[in-house]
Amino acid sequence: MTPSSLLPSAATHSVKDVAEFEQWFAFTSVTLDMTLWSLRILNDFRDARPEEKDAMQIYVDKWNNELLPQLNQRFEENPQRQYAMDWGFSLVDIILGQILNWSRKYRFLEPFGPKLKEYDRRLKSRPALLESLKDAADFEKDGNASQLFTEYRSKQKL
């Protein structure tokens, strides 16, 4: 697989395929990522202030009631769909796979639907991903990000 095969081309894909790719690329890399990043900031890097708990609930509700249903629908509407794009594995799958991985960290988010679970399992079993994760434990050895941030703040007296 070459990097260019991860993107649709006007020479090899329909206008519909290119437009759909751009829509899903924006949805995954902006909307989904921003929601989870906001949850990470509010959950992992902030002291528990009442106004932040309200903001956090807004993002939890957005994920559970708006975004996750769209993801579930994407894979339920076409049970034969193997990847996010009908034409095959793409950059959207790489981003969405990481988003799904990241979302599992937050137990307060709703679980994936059955077809989204199958998709997630498919992505997690790809040889290139397995190879890239071989040294993942090395990145975890420094500890819990929230704990490290809290320790840093207390040392800095912030």
Structural domains present in the chain: 14-126 (1.20.1050.10)
State the pLDDT at residue 88: 92
State the pLDDT at residue 18: 94
Instruction: Tell me the pLDDT of the chain (158 aa) as tens digits.
Output: 666 688 898 888 999 999 999 999 999 999 999 999 998 888 877 665 777 778 888 999 999 999 999 999 999 999 889 999 999 999 999 999 999 988 988 888 889 999 999 999 999 999 988 888 777 666 655 566 666 666 766 776 65
Count other Cβ atoms within 10 Å, centred on residue 32: 23
Neighbouring C-alpha atoms within 13 Å toward the C-beta of 22:
9
Q: Where are the alpha helices (DSSP H) in the chain?
A: 15-26, 33-44, 50-62, 68-76, 91-103, 114-124, 127-132, 136-140, 145-156
